Amino acid sequence: MIKIKIDEKNKKIARITVSGHANFAELGEDIVCASVSSIVITTVNALIKLDENSVEYLEKDGLVDLKILNNNKPTEILVLNMIELLKELENQYPKNIKIK
């Protein structure tokens, strides 16, 4: 199961940790893992393109740890959009993805 942990500080999103594997299908054919990866990495790339100092992240097999360093309006919009997309996936695949 993919677990997504969202941490807030002062009512703003401060950190998002995505870990695990969906186990929906064989490795390399898992549409849930691919969807989560696409959503998260596309958002991280957009955040960096807008302001390379807005986030800090670590990416390795089965883990993305995203720290929000500058919670300006564009950053907030992109991060909230990412969370909404992940929630839609969670609704469609509740056995494979869980958001806390």
Domain boundaries, the chain: 2-99
Output the six-digit token pair for 53.
């100092």
Q: Is the pLDDT of residue 27 over 90?
A: no
User: In this predicted model, what pLDDT tens digit does every residue of 58-88 receive, in sequence order?
Assistant: 999 889 999 999 989 999 999 999 999 999 9
For 1-100, where are the alpha helices, taking DSSP H only? Answer: 31-50, 73-92
Backbone angles phi, psi at 3, to 5 degrees: -115, 130
Q: What is the mean pLDDT of residues 13-19?
A: 97
Percent of the chain with pLDDT strictly greater than 90: 91
Radius of gyration of the chain measured on its C-alpha atoms: 13
CATH architecture of the domain with residue range 2-99:
2-Layer Sandwich (3.30)
